[in-house]
Structure 1
C-alpha cells in the first residue's frame, strides 16, 4: 500500500480587507475616524477655557483640535475599509485606536501648562487613564488647572465609556461584517447583538442612549443644591462612563451633599449595566 504525501502549502498572508496593496488601510481608516471624533470635543473645551475668567489656556485646546482633526481626516481620506474585513484587522483597529486617542488626548496637557514636554509620559498616563475609564491620576493639585482642560479630562472618560471604536462604527455604514466584530470587541456588556439590522444603526442608537442618560444625570445634578451647570455636566460625563474623574481634589466630597452622592450612585448603577438591555427595556 502506497502512501501519498502532500506537500505542505505555505500559509496565506494575513490580509486586512480586500485591498492587497494597502493591507493596513482598514485599521488606519478606523483609527483616523476615531481621532477625527475627538476634534469637536476639544473645540468645545477650548470655548469653555476661552470664556473662563480664571485661566486662558484655550490655545492649547484649539491647537490640539487642529492637529488631531487634521491627522484623523488625512488617515480617513486616503484609506478605505471595504466590506470584507479580516478578524485580525478588528483587533488591530481596536488596539491602535486606543493608543492613538490616548496620544491625541494628551496633547492639550503638554501644549498647556498641565505637564511639560519632558513629562509627556505623565500626560499620556492621564489621557490613557481617562479613555480607559480607569480613574487613576498623577496630578497633585487638580484644581490648579483651567476649566477647559479639566472638562477635556472629564470628556476623555465619556468618550471612552462607550468606546471610540463603537463611535467610529456608527459612522461607517460600509463596514459590514467587520462592524459587528468591532462592536463585539469594544462595546460594553456581555454581548454586542444587533439591536437593528444594520450594525451602524445599532452603534448610533447605543450612543444616543448613552447621550440621553448623560443629559438626565446632568439635569438631576444641576437641580441638586450646590451644583452649577459646569459641575453638573463635568460629573455627569464621568458618571455615565463610570470613570470617577472630577475637577476637584476631593472629588464628589467637594460638595458635601448626600443628594449629589445619591444621584451619582444611582447613575453609576444604571450606567454600569449593559446598554443594550436598557435599549430593549425602553
Structure 2
C-alpha cells in the first residue's frame, strides 16, 4: 500500500475542495448575510490542512494501484464530508451541534438530501447556496473532476475512476484517456445544469433559486431553499421541468455522451438499461396517478397527474423533492415509492439505489434459474440487450445484492436499538442507503428529532450508498491489507 502517495493526493484534493468554499463566501458578501467570516475561516482551515497533508509527501510520485484507489476514494469522501462540516459549524446564524453539522454535510455531499434543518428559507443565503453546491459537487463525484486535473500534476486517475464510477460495466471508458473521459462527463454535467437553471428561471424562479435547484436537480439530490421544497412554487410547469431533468440525470452519462458525439438519440432506444428505466418510470407514474385519482386527492385530473408524476419520479430516482406530503397518501403508495427508490436510476448516473442494470440482471438470473428447474439439461444465458453477460458479472451482481442486504439489516437493527420505531427505522435506512432523503414516520419531514446515535448510523449509510457498498466493505477484508 502506497500510503505516502495516497496522503499526497488526499492533501491536493482537500486543497482543491477548499476552493469550492469561495463561491458561497461571495454569496455572503453579495447578500450581506453574515456568513462571510465562517466561509473565510473554513477556507483557511481546509487549505492549511490540505497543505499539511500534502507537503511532507510532495515528492512521492509512485503510481496508484487498484487497492490504493479504493482506500483513497473512501478517505476522500470521508475527509471531504468532515471538511464540509466547517462552514455549517462556524456560522453563528445556524447554531448546529457537531452531529447535526456532520449529518447535513454528508447528506449534501452524498446527494442524499436528508436534512435536520427547519425554517430553511430563513437561513443565510450563503448557507443555502452552500448546501445546494455540496450536492452538485457530490452528484458527479468530485473525484471525477479531480481525475481530469490531477494528471497534469503527475497523478494517474484510472484507479480513482474505477473505484468511483458505479455499475457492473464501469470499466468501459468513453474515451481512450481517463482524463478526457472525466472532462467529457463534466462538460455534459455543466451543460445540463445550465439548461436546467435557465428553464427554472423562465418558469418563474428567481436566479438564486433557479441555480440552487438546478444544482440539486442535476445531482438528483433533493435539497431545496424552502421547507416546502418544490411545493413552495406551486407551479405545474416547474414540476414538469424538474421531472424532465431528473429523468435525464438518472440515465447513464455514457449514453448521453454517445448521443451527443453521434448526434443521434437512437442510442437511448438501443440501450437496454435506459429503456427499462423509462418503462419503470412510466408504469410507476400511471399506477400512482390512478390511485390518487380514485381517492380524489386533488381538485382536478390535471393536478392529480402532475402531482403523481412529480412524486413518483422524484422518489423513485432518489431525488426526494416534494410538492406534498407523500407519506400521508392512501393505501400502499408511500411504501411503493420507498421500494421504488431501491431500484433508483441507471449505472453511471447521479441517481442512487441499486441501479436499474443490477435489478435487470438479478431478474434475468432468477428467470434462468426457473428455466433450469424445468429443463435441468438446458443451457441458458443471461443477456443484457443482445449481449451475453459473463458469469463473473452475474456473480458480482448477486454478491453486491447480498452485501447491500447485509448492510441494510445491520443499520436498520442499529436504528431500532437507538429507540426508533419500525417504520421510521426501515424508511430511514432505505432513504439514506439509497441516497433518497425523505422517509416515513419520524423522518417524513426531517431528521432533527431522532437521536444523535441514529444520525451517525445514517451518515454511515449515506457513505455506503454513495460508494456502492463494495468500495467500503473491501477495506474490511483481511485480503485487502495483505501486501
TM-score category of the 2 structures, normalised to the smaller one: 0.7 to 0.9
Name the counterpart of 1:199: 178
Name the counterpart of 1:43: 22
Alpha carbons of 1:242 and 1:25: their partners in 2 closer, same or farther (altered >3 Å)? Answer: same
**How do residues 123-138 of structure 1 correspond to structure 2 at under 5 angstroms?**
123-138=101-116
Name the counterpart of 2:144: 166
**How do residues 22-37 of structure 1 correspond to structure 2 at under 5 angstroms?**
24-37=3-16
Deviation, 1:274, is: 1.3
Deviates more, 1:86-95 or 1:188-197: 188-197
Name the counterpart of 2:117: 139
* TM value normalised by structure 2: 0.51
- What is the aligned residue count? 256
Alpha carbons of 1:188 and 1:248: their partners in 2 closer, same or farther (altered >3 Å)? Answer: farther
Name the counterpart of 1:269: 247
Q: Is the contact made by 1:61 and 1:149 (CA closer than 8 Å) also made in structure 2? A: no
Q: Is the contact made by 1:131 and 1:161 (CA closer than 8 Å) also made in structure 2? A: yes
Correspondence 1:180 to 2:158: yes
Name the counterpart of 2:88: 109
5+ residue gaps in structure 2? Answer: 261-483
* TM value normalised by structure 1: 0.85
Q: Is the contact made by 1:30 and 1:165 (CA closer than 8 Å) also made in structure 2? A: no
Q: Is the contact made by 1:30 and 1:168 (CA closer than 8 Å) also made in structure 2? A: no
Deviation, 1:270, is: 0.5
Q: Is the contact made by 2:64 and 2:159 (CA closer than 8 Å) also made in structure 1? A: no
Deviations 1:17-55 (CA, angstroms, capped at 9, x unpaired): xxxxxxx123223322322232232111111111115x2
Deviation, 1:185, is: 1.5
Deviations 1:170-202 (CA, angstroms, capped at 9, x unpaired): 1121333xx222112212554253222221221
Secondary structure in 2 aligned to 1:82? coil
Q: Is the contact made by 1:30 and 1:97 (CA closer than 8 Å) also made in structure 2? A: no
Alignment equivalent of 2:226, drawn from 238, 244, 248? 248
Q: Is the contact made by 1:81 and 1:175 (CA closer than 8 Å) also made in structure 2? A: no
Q: Is the contact made by 2:21 and 2:39 (CA closer than 8 Å) also made in structure 1? A: yes
Distance 1:262 1:192 in 2: 34
Q: Is the contact made by 1:115 and 1:122 (CA closer than 8 Å) also made in structure 2? A: no
Alignment equivalent of 2:76, drawn from 97, 111, 122? 97
Q: Is the contact made by 2:132 and 2:212 (CA closer than 8 Å) also made in structure 1? A: yes
Deviation, 1:232, is: 0.4
Deviates more, 1:162-171 or 1:236-245: 162-171
**How do residues 64-103 of structure 1 correspond to structure 2 at under 5 angstroms?**
64-77=42-55, 78-79=57-58, 82=61, 84-103=63-82
5+ residue gaps in structure 1? Answer: 1-14, 17-23
Deviations 1:50-84 (CA, angstroms, capped at 9, x unpaired): 1115x221110121122222322443444356353
**How do residues 11-30 of structure 1 correspond to structure 2 at under 5 angstroms?**
15-16=1-2, 24-30=3-9
Name the counterpart of 1:157: 135
Name the counterpart of 1:232: 210
Deviation, 1:133, is: 0.7
Name the counterpart of 1:63: 41
Distance 2:182 2:188 in 1: 10
Root-mean-square deviation (CA, aligned residues, Å) is 1.8
Distance 1:104 1:79 in 2: 21
